[in-house]
Amino acid sequence: MNDESSTPSAIVPLTAEQARVLGCLMEKEITTPDAYPLTLNALVNACNQATNRDPVVAYAEVTVQEAVEGLKVRHFVYQLSLAGARVQKFRHNMQGKFPGLEAPESALLCTLLLRGAQTVGELRQRTERLYNFPDLAAVESSLQRLLSNETDLALAVMFPPGPGRKSALYMHTLCGEPSAPVAGAAPSFEPAPAYASAREEERLWREKIEQEIAGLRAELKSLKEKLGEE
């Protein structure tokens, strides 16, 4: 199993649903701190809201629940059981996954997760509620840190100006390596074929734990036999 908390460069790509959930948790932590961490119902509403989202979606509760479970397995999200609370709440663990992620970069990554490919100007405008960038140069500086993150995993990629667009576009890489945006078409992601799926990763992790338990039992049995001989 790849331990994503210690080897971020081997990270398994997120699904679109997981990316939306993660982005919503990052956003609501800043914009509605009194309601954070979020309940499942609040998270569904956040995923499906019509503002500050591209594309706008209509996820069912089960879809969001499955995305949350996948993120929990890989330690992107933690579930909290608060004293006296009747419902479970969820919070993200982006600082734990990527210790070098500071507030400016976090705001940019959150906006990329929620709104797809964007220009520097769009990012400055759309991050106003999350972080106040004084100018475009500050946005570009933070984007450069995302492009070469301190964790050795580039969390964003830049596509230079091309046919049908005059400005460079930025996209996050948490869903895999994105393909170059085409004018008028929604950008797509191409996960690296060498990556295992999250479900496969969980299966390998369980097998590893079972093997370790079997080994410990064998050692204990051997120890008991030796003590019995004495």
- Domain 8-190, classified CATH 3.40.30.10, yes or no: no
What band does 5 get if pLDDT is binned at 50, 70 and 90? very low
User: By C-alpha distance, which of 181, 186, 144 is closest to 16?
Assistant: 186
Q: Quick check: pTM over 0.85?
A: no
How far is it, in rounded angstroms, from Cα 170 to Cα 24? 19
Enumerate the domain spans of the chain.
Answer: 8-190, 197-225
What band does 202 get if pLDDT is binned at 50, 70 and 90? low
Cβ neighbors of 13 (< 8 A, separation 6 or more) are 174, 175, 176, 189, 191, 192, 195
Say what the pLDDT of residue 203 is. 58
pLDDT in tens, 52-109: 999 999 999 999 999 999 999 999 999 997 766 678 999 999 999 998 899 999 999 9
Main-chain phi, psi angles of 122, to 5 degrees? -65, -40
**Structural element, H or E, at residue 144:** helix 136-147
Say what the pLDDT of residue 227 is. 77
pLDDT in tens, 168-195: 999 999 999 898 876 554 454 444 443 3
